[in-house]
Amino acid sequence: MKALVINCSPVRGGATAEIVRLVSEELGTKYDTKQVSIDDYRFDFCRGCRSCHQTGTCVQHDDADLLMREFAEADVIVSVAPSYWADVPGQFKAFIDRCTPWSNTHEPHASLGGGKRGYAVALRTGPNMRECEKLLDTLQHFYGHLDIPCCGRLGMCSVECRDDVAAHREEILKFAAAI
């Protein structure tokens, strides 16, 4: 079985990347695990043309297709997102918008295949868990439109930099071990 762990942040060496590393390391004991960063991919914004509502494919052909292939190949997908103004980073939101061809909100739509499980991890610098819940809801909503059940969620507050992850290490490893 394959697991995909995605850093939803454009920052490759920060707290989000450290959480991705810990989760990937733990999942690597059970799964063939791949970690990627949203910053590994180049794609344009959704044009809002709605062509995909009739065809199930996007008129643009760029790295959004490559990332969706990673989603299709994975059995388990873990999205790790920091809070940018109380939601997922813009780069990841742009990717979500580009996933409309795979969205179950219209027919026809492309399919990633069944049997996948999604997991959501959110972090923020402040102490209010409500903001983490908003990010987790965004990720769960995204998974839902791809017909991927969200099977677990983890939110962490007071995580501003890579060093802050250490205080949550056991919590992260316990979450990942349950996947």
Q: Considering the entire predicted model, what is its pTM?
A: 0.97
User: Quick one: pLDDT at residue 26?
Assistant: 98
Q: What distance in Å separates the CA atoms of residue 83 and residue 87, rounded to the nearest whole number? A: 5
Q: Is 15 exposed, middle or buried (0-12, 13-18, 19+ CB in 10 A)?
A: buried
pLDDT tens-digit series, residues 122-157: 999 999 899 999 999 999 999 999 999 999 999 999
How many domains are contained in the chain? Answer: 1
Cβ contact 59:51 at 8 Å: yes
CATH code, domain with 155: 3.40.50.360
What beta strand segments (E) does 18-149 contain?
32-37, 76-82, 117-123
Cβ contact 93:87 at 8 Å: yes
pLDDT tens-digit series, residues 17-54: 999 999 999 999 999 999 999 999 999 999 999 999 99
- pLDDT class for 6, splitting at 50, 70, 90? very high
Q: What distance in Å separates the CA atoms of residue 109 and residue 134, rounded to the nearest whole number? A: 27
- pLDDT class for 114, splitting at 50, 70, 90? very high
Q: What distance in Å separates the CA atoms of residue 145 and residue 131, rounded to the nearest whole number? A: 22
- pLDDT class for 59, splitting at 50, 70, 90? very high
- pLDDT class for 158, splitting at 50, 70, 90? very high
Q: Which phi and psi angles does 169 have, rounded to 5°? A: -55, -50
User: Quick one: pLDDT at residue 134?
Assistant: 96
Cβ contact 26:42 at 8 Å: no
- Rg of the chain in Å (alpha carbons): 16
Domain containing 28: what range?
2-177
pLDDT tens-digit series, residues 89-111: 999 999 999 999 999 998 999 99
Cβ contact 172:17 at 8 Å: no
- pLDDT class for 85, splitting at 50, 70, 90? very high
Paired residues of 7 in beta bridges: 37, 80
Orientation angle between helical segments 15-27 and 169-177, nearest 10 degrees: 40
